[in-house]
């Protein structure tokens, strides 16, 4: 993408492959009248303009007071997967050094955490695509599981033009419409489908025994489970025919095949096991590490990969190090010039952190960067209540999001075109984003905010620099020797056009575009099959709540919609929440296309406009989650958490539907 400042603002043009609508309209927010350009402080119940020094002084004084009264974990931080690598890194350092708190997590916990956990236990490392994206152009077959890139990232589809596309999704999405075959399992049954296909792979003679013996361990334990999942049994659970399962097994075994998973597989209380089921299938077929085949996970947010590598997760330090690893703590403490014993341990995961706010044992303040949990978190009414119970809520944002509107202090911050920084894309390649235009007067970067608060908390000025390249230089050292090693990446190399996929071990190292070509990241170099079995959704349907509700995205809105809802060109296409319903299901509820419906779960209810969709399963309804207020899909969703990743179950909950009267 090229960015050029013009007399009228910024012109965006793609270098290759095009942009989606969200990309080519992104510049509209740079000079939007809804931009925040001055700090806001709540006085007498209203947010009113304030000076930067006044706002920073207030925040620092309150953080000091709360820490003195209740200890360092009285203060908490919530980050975002859209933050640059520099911001994510400095945010994690700020929480653990300036605040001394263990209470930090981020919205990426709602996005990629299950795939990360499954990848780590199978391969010893987590990188969304362990191969360059361009490898997909040679694919004969690509299986997309729980992914709708035609709406979520349309430029990605150019890499699939020559492949036979197979889509696994409960809905016939825009991506499924393009597919050679669409398999529509009931929500929450993806793992049963993976087990059925794995059974067919073995029973029908497609197992790559040479690969399994030479490059993996643990197959026998996985087969003991899959042996009981013959395709006819999987059909009874999933609704996908045994014939389609056997066809899929044969198709993936022929030619150059890739299996790609995404949020549809992850956002379950069994998300890690479900992703592991598809990884097991890929390993049985000999795909990971192949020169013309592979397994990968499609990243969600703008910096979904880099955002989870450098310390804004509750259990993580920079370089993808574990915070409970003594060697990792010692290394990072040396870089930060603090004692290892002064670094806090693991904190609460995202939903658990939000759910604990304002409780007797929970944090009393929250600083939010790059997230809008009032709309994006599950059981959203509960999260709104918890935010209201805080002594101090501070939000950094460029517009008055629904979360910012609840804050005690709001800091106006820069956008993508107004600042320097790096992002890491879904294939692990680090990208340099240069400042193209000046921000509006009164607006500062998130790094400036962190630096300003840290200074007022008594930190040495050099410890929290506001310059992105200076922060990146420190990130390089903090990541050195870690799984996500950025130590050989420099702004100069990136500016010169080098395509650097981490790990990059020194400034002469070319990077690692293909992670698994020779070995996996476990000490013995072998991948692990992980025994997993299907258990189903945490909340099954019943007579009172007979339908599965699933949530997702639409083409012209993004994440919580706080920004895209302000772009007229986008919002005019999808201005309000809707609920997709099979016509027969709608008729039984006394509803017709265009009616307002009330969708109710055990946690709350959402009002949405009915869209009758004949291709939808009769037992499923779908709602996009981009909309605020009474239209929040996440008023319905179940916060049941995966025991490993702590991912909430966004993709299925039991609901009923009726007329909005």
What share of the chain has pLDDT > 90, as a percent? 85
pLDDT (0 to 100) of residue 17: 55
Kindly list the domain boundaries of the chain, sorted by start residue: 1-31, 37-110+303-485, 113-298, 547-659
pLDDT (0 to 100) of residue 31: 84
Of 319-328, 375-384, 549-558, 615-624, the one with minimum mean pLDDT is 549-558
pLDDT (0 to 100) of residue 290: 85
CB neighbour list of residue 464: distance below 8 Å, 6 or more residues apart: 90, 93, 94, 98, 450, 451, 454, 455
Secondary structure, 3-state, 543-595:
CCCCEEEEEECCCCCCCCCCCHHHCHHHHCCCCCCEEEECHHHHHHCCCCCCC
Residue-wise pLDDT for 163-193, tens only, equals 999 999 999 999 999 999 999 999 999 999 9
Residue-wise pLDDT for 278-298, tens only, equals 999 999 999 999 878 899 999
Residue-wise pLDDT for 102-159, tens only, equals 999 999 899 889 999 999 999 999 999 999 999 999 999 999 999 999 888 888 888 9
**CA–CA distances in Å: residue 643 to residues 269, 271, 404:** 7, 9, 31
- Chain-centroid distance, C-alpha 312: 13
Second CATH level (architecture) for the domain 113-298 = 3-Layer(aba) Sandwich (3.40)
Q: How confident is the model at residue 7 (pLDDT cuts 50, 70, 90)?
A: very low
Residue-wise pLDDT for 518-538, tens only, equals 999 999 999 999 999 999 999
Residue-wise pLDDT for 541-584, tens only, equals 999 999 999 999 887 787 777 788 877 787 777 788 999 999 99
Question: Does residue 19 surpass a pLDDT of 80?
Answer: no
Question: Does residue 11 surpass a pLDDT of 70?
Answer: no
pLDDT (0 to 100) of residue 15: 55
Residue-wise pLDDT for 445-498, tens only, equals 999 999 999 999 999 989 999 999 999 999 999 999 999 999 999 999 999 999
Question: Does residue 8 surpass a pLDDT of 60?
Answer: no
Contact 610, 622 (CB under 8 A): no
What share of the chain has pLDDT > 70, as a percent? 97
Residue-wise pLDDT for 111-123, tens only, equals 889 999 999 999 9
Number of Cβ within a 10 Å radius of residue 195: 29
DSSP assignment of 404-416, as one string? GGG-SEEEEB--G
Second CATH level (architecture) for the domain 37-110+303-485 = 3-Layer(aba) Sandwich (3.40)
Q: How confident is the model at residue 20 (pLDDT cuts 50, 70, 90)?
A: confident
Place of tokens 């608060």: 453
Handedness of CA 39, 41, 47, 51 (dihedral sign): negative
Question: Does residue 256 surpass a pLDDT of 70?
Answer: yes
CB neighbour list of residue 532: distance below 8 Å, 6 or more residues apart: 191, 222, 225, 273, 274, 276, 277, 280
Q: How confident is the model at residue 12 (pLDDT cuts 50, 70, 90)?
A: low
Question: Does residue 16 surpass a pLDDT of 60?
Answer: no
Give the whole-angstrom CA distance, residue 527 versus residue 453. Answer: 45
Q: What is the DSSP letter of 94?
A: I
pTM for the model:
0.94
pLDDT (0 to 100) of residue 324: 97
Cα Rg for the chain, rounded, in angstroms? Answer: 24
Contact 279, 296 (CB under 8 A): no
Tokens for 410? 């709001």
Question: Does residue 18 surpass a pLDDT of 90?
Answer: no
Residue-wise pLDDT for 364-393, tens only, equals 999 999 999 999 999 999 999 999 999 999
Tokens for 10? 């910024």
Nearest to 293 by CA among 276, 281, 275, 277: 281
Nearest 10 degrees: Cα torsion 520, 524, 529, 535:
-100
Question: Does residue 597 surpass a pLDDT of 90?
Answer: yes
CB neighbour list of residue 278: distance below 8 Å, 6 or more residues apart: 145, 190, 194, 259, 261, 265, 295
CATH of 547-659, one of 3.40.605.10, 1.10.10.10, 2.60.40.10, 2.40.40.20: 2.40.40.20
Beta strand spans in 262-386 (E): 294-297, 316-317, 321-322, 365-369
pLDDT (0 to 100) of residue 13: 58
CB neighbour list of residue 11: distance below 8 Å, 6 or more residues apart: 3, 4, 27
DSSP assignment of 380-394, as one string? HHHHHHHHHT-SEEE
Contact 357, 105 (CB under 8 A): no
Q: What is the DSSP letter of 108?
A: G
Give the whole-angstrom CA distance, residue 183 versus residue 169. Answer: 6
Q: Do domains 113-298 and 547-659 have the same CATH topology?
A: no
Place of tokens 């399962």: 245
- Give buried/exposed letters for 80-104 (b at 16+ CB in 10 A, else e): bbbbbbbbbbbbbbbbbbbbbbbbb
Judged by DSSP in three states, 148 sits in coil
């Amino acid at each position: 993408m090229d960015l050029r400042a013009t007399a009228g603002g910024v012109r965006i043009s793609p270098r290759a492959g095009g942009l989606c609508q969200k990309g080519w309209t992104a510049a509209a927010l740079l000079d939007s009248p809804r931009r925040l350009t001055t700090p806001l402080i709540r006085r007498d119940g209203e947010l009113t303009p304030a000076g930067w020094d006044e706002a920073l002084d207030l925040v620092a004084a309150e953080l000091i007071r709360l820490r003195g009264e209740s200890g360092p974990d009285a203060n908490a931080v919530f980050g975002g997967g859209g933050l640059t690598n520099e911001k994510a890194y400095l945010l994690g350092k700020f929480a653990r050094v300036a605040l001394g708190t263990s209470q930090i997590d981020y919205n990426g916990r709602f996005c990629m955490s299950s795939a990360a956990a499954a990848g780590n236990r199978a391969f010893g490392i987590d990188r969304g695509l362990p191969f360059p994206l361009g490898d997909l152009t040679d694919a004969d077959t690509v299986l997309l599981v729980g992914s709708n890139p035609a709406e979520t990232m349309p430029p990605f589809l150019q890499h699939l033009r020559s492949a036979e596309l197979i889509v696994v999704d409960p809905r016939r999405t825009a991506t499924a419409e393009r597919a050679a075959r669409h398999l529509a399992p009931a929500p929450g049954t993806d793992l049963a489908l993976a087990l059925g296909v794995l059974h067919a792979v073995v029973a029908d003679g497609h197992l790559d025994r040479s690969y399994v013996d030479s490059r993996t361990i643990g197959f026998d334990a996985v087969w003991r489970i899959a042996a009981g999942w013959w395709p006819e049994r999987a059909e009874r659970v999933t609704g996908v025919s045994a014939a389609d399962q056997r066809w899929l097994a044969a198709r993936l075994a022929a030619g150059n095949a890739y299996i790609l998973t995404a949020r549809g597989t992850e956002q379950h209380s069994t998300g890690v096991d479900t992703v592991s089921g598809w990884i097991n299938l890929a390993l049985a077929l000999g795909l990971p590490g192949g020169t013309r085949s592979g397994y990968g996970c499609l990243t969600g947010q703008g910096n979904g990969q880099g955002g989870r590598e450098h310390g804004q997760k509750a259990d993580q330090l920079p370089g993808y190090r574990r915070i409970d690893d003594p060697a990792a703590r010692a290394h990072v403490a040396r870089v930060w010039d603090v004692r290892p014993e002064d670094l806090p341990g693991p904190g609460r995961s995202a939903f658990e952190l939000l759910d604990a706010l304002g409780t007797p044992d929970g944090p009393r303040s929250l600083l939010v960067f790059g997230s809008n949990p009032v709309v994006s978190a599950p059981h959203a009414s509960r999260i709104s209540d918890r935010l209201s119970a805080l002594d101090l809520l501070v939000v950094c944002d460029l517009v008055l999001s629904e979360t910012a509107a609840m804050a005690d202090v709001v800091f106006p911050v820069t956008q993508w075109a107004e600042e320097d920084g790096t992002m890491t894309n879904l294939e692990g390649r680090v990208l340099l984003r240069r400042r193209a235009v000046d921000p509006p007067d009164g607006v500062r970067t998130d790094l400036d905010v962190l630096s300003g608060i840290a200074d007022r908390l008594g930190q040495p000025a050099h410890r929290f620099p506001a310059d992105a390249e200076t922060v990146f230089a420190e990130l390089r050292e903090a990541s050195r020797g870690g799984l996500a090693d950025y130590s050989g990446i420099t702004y100069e190399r990136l500016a010169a056009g080098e395509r650097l996929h981490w790990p990059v071990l020194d400034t002469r190292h070319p990077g690692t575009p293909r992670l698994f070509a020779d070995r996996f990241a476990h000490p013995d170099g072998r991948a692990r099959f992980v025994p997993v079995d299907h258990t189903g959704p945490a909340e099954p349907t019943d007579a009172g709540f007979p339908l599965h509700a699933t949530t997702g995205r639409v083409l012209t809105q993004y994440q919580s919609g706080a920004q895209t809802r302000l772009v007229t060109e986008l919002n005019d296409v999808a201005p309000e929440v809707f609920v997709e319903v099979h016509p027969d299901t709608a008729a039984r509820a006394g509803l017709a296309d265009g009616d307002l419906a009330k969708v109710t779960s055990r946690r709350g209810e959402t009002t949405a406009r009915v869209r009758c969709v004949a291709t939808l399963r009769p037992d499923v309804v779908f709602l996009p989650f981009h909309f605020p207020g009474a239209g929040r899909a996440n008023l319905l969703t179940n916060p049941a958490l995966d025991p490993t990743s702590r991912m909430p179950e966004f993709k299925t909950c039991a609901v009923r539907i009726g007329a909005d009267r």
